Amino acid sequence: MAFINSTTRRLLVIQACVAAAGFLVFSWLSGPYAAWSALAGGGIGFITTAFFALRVFAGGAERPAKVIVRTFYVGESQKILLTVALFVVAIVWLEVSFLPMFATYMVSLMAFWIVLLPALSGTQD
């Protein structure tokens, strides 16, 4: 994973921490069923971000801009499809509780944007 930049690594660490925190909070508030549901939601956020990062950054920065943009759009489309598939798996097969799963996923998604804002504004490496 040497080709993934520091912002992406930081994001993945934060999303893993969000999943763990969701697990602990829902374990304390509602018990083990809600805790595992929250972990599934945080896991969906983490897995889809890692997939997107591997998909987009795997080719390196030496590629032509047109190829990088195409890879970004294809990767984002695949990320959305993967997210939907993982939600279906979690709800249908794992039979998770929707609220803890979705709440933790949303916090994971917010972490995605909070980490990327400084990077997009140019105030971060």
| Mean model confidence pLDDT for the chain | 89
For residue 88, give both structure tokens. Answer: 């279906």
* Residue that is written with structure tokens 């279906």 in the block: 88
Quick: pLDDT tens for 12-41.
Answer: 999 999 999 999 999 999 999 999 999 999
What pLDDT, in 10s, does the model give residues 57-72?
877 777 888 888 898 8
C-alpha–C-alpha distance, residues 62 and 6, integer Å: 18
Domain boundaries, the chain: 6-115
